[in-house]
Amino acid sequence: MVQKNRHVWHNGYGPAVATNFYHRYKEDIALMREIGLTHFRTSINWSRFLLDYENVTVDEEYADYIEQVINELISNGIEPMICLEH
């Protein structure tokens, strides 16, 4: 039963899925635009971006995802603010 499952917080969501921004970023960005946000602060997961730090091997699939998110923000009039370290 969902109500008694400590891993589910609300409407079936919990720590395993959380907001699922990775798959729902277009919908989320549209909602940001709808409520009038003009900026969005986010970060890049460097441990995922760089597969091999010594040889600077980039995960091209993740790099493409980051590019898609940034382009979606810009096309919706929202300025991305990338935190490079935190």
Residue 9 has pLDDT above 70, yes or no: no
Residue carrying structure tokens 């929202």: 78
**Distance of alpha carbon 74 from alpha carbon 79, whole angstroms:** 6
Query: 20-56, pLDDT tens digit by residue?
Result: 888 899 999 999 999 999 999 998 888 888 999 899 9
pTM of the model: 0.76
Residue 77 pLDDT class (50, 70, 90 cuts): very high
Residue 1 has pLDDT above 60, yes or no: no
Cα dihedral across residues 44, 46, 51, 53: positive or negative: positive
Residue 16 pLDDT class (50, 70, 90 cuts): low
User: What's the CA angle centered on 41, arms 37 and 42, to 5 degrees?
Assistant: 130
State in Å, rounded, how far the first CA of the chain is from the last one.
38
